[in-house]
Chain A
Amino acid sequence: MTVPGPRASDEERAAQSERLRKVWENPRGWRYWTSVNNTQVGLWYASTAFIFLLFAGALALIMRAQLAWPDSDLVSADFYNQLFTLHGTVMMFLFAVPIFEAVAIFLLPPMIGARELPFPRLGAFGFWSFFLGGIFVCGSIFFDAAPSSGWFMYPPLATDEKLSGIGADIWLLGLSFIEVASIAAAVELIVGIMKCRAPGMRINLMPLFAWYLLIVAGMILFAFPPLIAGDILFEMQRMFDWPFFDPARGGDPLLWQHLFWIFGHPEVYIIFLPAIALLAMIVPTFSRRPIVGYSWIVLAAVGTGFLSFGLWVHHMFATGLPQISLAFFSAASEAVAIPTAVQIFVFIATMLAGRVILSTPMLFGAGGIAIFVIGGLTGVMVAIAPFDWQAHDTYFVVAHLHYVLIGGMLFPVAAGIYYYYPLIDAKRLSDTLGRIAFWLMFVGFNVTFFPMHLTGLLGMPRRVFTYPADLGWNFLNLVSSVGAYVFAFGVLIVVWDVLRPKHREPRAEQNPWNAGTLEWISEPEENWGVRSVPFVSSRYPLWEQPTLAREISEGRWYLPDAKEGRREGLVTSVLDARPEQVLRVGGTSKVTIVSAFSLGAVFIALTFKWWIAGAIAAFTCFCAILYWLWTGTAEIPEKPEKDVGVGLALPLYASGPSSVGWWAMFITMVGDSTAFASLIFGYFFYWTIHEDFTASSAGPGMMWPLVSAALFVFAWLATLAARHFNALERTAFVRAALIMALALTAVASAAGIAGPWLHAMNPTAHVYPAIVWVLVCWTVVHAAVGAAMIAYCLARSLAGRLTKTHDMDLRNVALYWHFLAITALITFFVIGLFPEAL
């Protein structure tokens, strides 16, 4: 059993606190915005997401005002199209997903007893990307240029530049940029949960919130990349007329639907699971007992995570796919009800087994679950294809999705606000206002959305800007509109409760709800997260380790000091959280903002086809990231080891699979490979829909693709050779191998392009040359990144910062190259050999 260290003298402890405070403190003045601390970034993230929520809610209110009466002309048809498109887009991409990232960044470190997440600058970069992309997308409506083709942007409407205008480009590029932020958050969270838990926090002791977030972050890696691949195809069609979705030239709009919904359905669970995760923290606290069925929650989270990927076609039941295919997806859509029900039964069981305190957070939680269950039941109805054919594209679906999302997400988030607010500024929200808000929201919600089931069954299609008076929809629509305003009033009360001045109120207790998990020891006044990193030996440490909170605040556990003036945290092992390394994380920096804004400028310039500005922005972004990497990563410490307290000394440097950087590379590349797999799916999709896939046009031939594949394998081997020689300390050989790898990459890329180029494949003529070119471009762009990485390692070696023991850069680059080699082999074998096999 690990025991805490002795109590230091009062002066010593005060000096330690002072040093820690100084290391973790925020910059003042305008520089405050360069902070990368998880508490600040989490708060900014959440506040921005809430502002977007209110904005999208206001759009919804305009829509309900328009629909309150038949034949209304409050807004024009085109403006109405912009309203519903932006409402859906903002709610999904700028509120529902980011709010989970925000809550995770804010709560996860204290919950797992860590000071920070492993890549704080990456978190800040993600926030600024989201901030800029969000403003860009939302702002478009003030210029009458918002996207107007619906939040899932179906071609051929959305690919038609005349009908969709610049709005579709804003949607595609603005959101691609935000998807980058989501993937950054996923990397940060997976590595944080797997490698940065407090010592002793084995996976059977992890807070359930962390389990859910781990699954959700994993889902993001497999769900967002298909959409990015779809965005690439979509934008290539809009910008350069490559006919991916144009049936006249062999394309097919259905491919977009597949790629969109492979993202879109898991997205629903990416939104739902973190909200349920909040309830998994709240329910035990107010039931005054540990959760009943911890393992069952893990079953539910993992099971939902996997099954949610087998549902996408249920959004496409009406597209004429073979019914045998529909049946598979129908079956999976029914099956996902099992794990979803399990988690709800676990909550009910916990409440039955404990003594429930019906507090405001519990009220929101219980109300949310009631609403969600109704949405789940209508979900089982629409999962049955014949019923769906009747309800498809009607208000029944609108009712269903709002019951699921608002019940499964917005209400639990409101519960989370009331529950966690004391962690933000040490005050409590008003119980009275909370209860009034809850009942207004609960009643208002049901009055709005329940009648929509009926309007839908009466045949009212979604997305119509008005309707004639004689169809029997008038009364139901009026009721919905009234309900919407009641609901909005409830939301405003929550907003008021959060914003109202509270400086006259007394400081709330440290742990006002008497909860059992670690986040409740973090003090809102301090920026260091935890005073010392504890050793955890139970699921509810504050309940089961009664002296722990005091020991932590007395600095008797790990890393109670910051003698070297660096922000430090612990890296621990995946299964048993054995301490492995001291991780020095990046501090306050402007480079995150510069990188995010220059990347944003690239996307904005592309939207308006300002090529030169785009190139300048891309170059700026490249330089900023290079500076960031060179100055802020793979730093060589001044000593190999450091005493972390409690009689333990840990290394300050790690490379390979035991380092967090290696994990981040691995996880990023898994996501990247998913996008690549989606493009390959596109290739074979076109093969299935055509009698003659190549449309009798020339292919890239066999020779050049195979030559390119072979050269890429040699380049990969040269990179591995560099890693091998580095381990033997043969510096000259390392550099020679790196130069060799660079040269081979250049030749391999040229050979890859030679195939389609020399056979004069014209990507605008037909979809076959277009998809071949896209695959080749994908590989060549990745090769360029791979070459930049090799050049970077060469520069590190010349600067004397790549040695046998300090080889993190080279090992991460080798890992990248494993993925690149696989990408190149698949690309060139597919485009070179598959047409020959036909």
Chain B
Amino acid sequence: MRLLPREIETFWTLFTGPAIWAGHFLICYASAAIFCAKPALLGMEFNSLRLGIAFVTVVALVAIALSAFLAWRQWGFGAHDPPHDDPTRHDRLLFQGFATLLLAGLSFVAVLMTALPVIFVSECLR
């Protein structure tokens, strides 16, 4: 059994990192909104919400890191320099890998920034 998925050739892998960011953002927003609107629903405390968001954040970061690794592999582990503008399938793959890697970096930072408030905010505070 192989540990890493095989390389797939499609347009859509480009959006992996941002899509994970979007999922993480939605979970943070929806869970906090529901928790603050209906605190009695699950009988949880705010700290449980913070822990939950921390857990989701770690999962999202690991997923982005994994997608970054796959992108790095598609980019040939950095063995070739941009601009990747040759009219070949090889250069097109390198371009996709590099752009995906950059987006994974941005998504990683953005997920961290989204999660930061739960370190500092300790109640719903209306």
Q: Do chains A and B interact in one complex?
A: yes
Residue numbers of A with Cβ under 8 A of B are 194, 200, 202-205, 290, 293-296, 298-299, 302-303, 305-307, 309-310, 320-325, 327-332, 334-335, 338-339, 536-539, 574-576, 688-689
Using a Cβ cutoff of 8 Å, how many contacts connect chains A and B?
138
Q: What is the distance, in angstroms, from B99's C-beta to the closest C-beta of chain A?
A: 5
Whether A325 pairs with B85 at a CB distance below 8 angstroms is no
Residue numbers of B with Cβ under 8 A of A are 9-11, 14-15, 18-19, 21-22, 25, 28-29, 32-34, 36-38, 82-85, 87, 89, 91-92, 94-96, 98-99, 102-103, 106-107, 109-110, 113-114, 116-118, 120-121, 123-126
Whether B85 pairs with A205 at a CB distance below 8 angstroms is yes
Chain B residue numbers with a CB within 8 Å of A200 are 87
On whether A688 and B37 interact (CB within 8 A), knowing A323-B121, A332-B25, the answer reads yes
Whether A324 pairs with B21 at a CB distance below 8 angstroms is no
Whether B116 pairs with A331 at a CB distance below 8 angstroms is yes
Whether A325 pairs with B36 at a CB distance below 8 angstroms is yes
Whether A295 pairs with B95 at a CB distance below 8 angstroms is yes
Whether A294 pairs with B103 at a CB distance below 8 angstroms is no
CA distance A677 to B123 in the complex (A): 29
The 4 closest A-B pairs by CB, nearest first: A327-B117, A204-B95, A306-B18, A537-B87
The closest CB in chain B to the CB of A540 belongs to B85
On whether A332 and B84 interact (CB within 8 A), knowing A203-B11, A296-B102, the answer reads no
Subset of 19 A-B contacts with CB under 8 Å: A202-B91, A202-B92, A203-B11, A203-B96, A204-B85, A290-B85, A294-B95, A302-B99, A303-B103, A306-B19, A321-B33, A322-B33, A328-B32, A328-B114, A332-B114, A338-B109, A574-B11, A575-B92, A688-B34
Whether B84 pairs with A328 at a CB distance below 8 angstroms is no
CA distance A330 to B118 in the complex (A): 13
Q: What is the distance, in angstroms, from B88's C-beta to the closest C-beta of chain A?
A: 8
Q: Give the residue of B28, B87, B103, B118 whose beta carbon is less than 8 angstroms from that of A299.
A: B103
Chain B residue numbers with a CB within 8 Å of A330 are 117
Q: Give the residue of B9, B110, B121 whose beta carbon is less than 8 angstroms from that of A332.
A: B110
Whether B87 pairs with A322 at a CB distance below 8 angstroms is no
CA distance A329 to B33 in the complex (A): 12
On whether A322 and B82 interact (CB within 8 A), knowing A203-B11, A299-B106, A339-B106, the answer reads no
On whether A538 and B85 interact (CB within 8 A), knowing A302-B14, A332-B113, A332-B114, the answer reads yes
CA distance A454 to B92 in the complex (A): 50
On whether A323 and B92 interact (CB within 8 A), knowing A205-B85, A299-B103, the answer reads no
Q: What is the distance, in angstroms, from A833's C-beta to the closest C-beta of chain B?
A: 17
The closest CB in chain B to the CB of A201 belongs to B87
Whether B125 pairs with A322 at a CB distance below 8 angstroms is yes
Whether A328 pairs with B125 at a CB distance below 8 angstroms is no
Chain A residue numbers with a CB within 8 Å of B37 are 688-689
Q: What is the distance, in angstroms, from A578's C-beta to the closest C-beta of chain B?
A: 10
The closest CB in chain A to the CB of B41 belongs to A688
Chain B residue numbers with a CB within 8 Å of A290 are 83, 85
Chain B residue numbers with a CB within 8 Å of A299 are 99, 102-103, 106
Whether A295 pairs with B117 at a CB distance below 8 angstroms is no
CA distance A305 to B18 in the complex (A): 9
On whether A575 and B11 interact (CB within 8 A), knowing A203-B96, A295-B102, the answer reads yes
Chain B residue numbers with a CB within 8 Å of A335 are 109-110, 113-114
Whether B126 pairs with A320 at a CB distance below 8 angstroms is yes
Chain B residue numbers with a CB within 8 Å of A332 are 25, 110, 113-114
CA distance A475 to B58 in the complex (A): 54
Chain B residue numbers with a CB within 8 Å of A307 are 18, 21, 110
Whether B85 pairs with A331 at a CB distance below 8 angstroms is no
Whether A302 pairs with B22 at a CB distance below 8 angstroms is no
Whether A294 pairs with B36 at a CB distance below 8 angstroms is no
On whether A295 and B22 interact (CB within 8 A), knowing A303-B106, A324-B32, A328-B28, the answer reads no
Chain A residue numbers with a CB within 8 Å of B83 are 290, 294-295, 539
CA distance A299 to B96 in the complex (A): 11
On whether A324 and B98 interact (CB within 8 A), knowing A205-B87, A306-B21, A335-B113, the answer reads no
CA distance A622 to B87 in the complex (A): 46
On whether A322 and B36 interact (CB within 8 A), knowing A294-B85, A302-B103, A307-B110, the answer reads yes
Having A204-B92, A332-B25, one finds 11 other A-B pairs with CB under 8 Å, namely A295-B95, A299-B106, A310-B22, A321-B126, A324-B32, A324-B117, A327-B116, A334-B113, A537-B87, A575-B10, A689-B37
Most B-side CB within 10 Å, residue of A294, A295, A327 = A295
Chain A residue numbers with a CB within 8 Å of B123 are 324
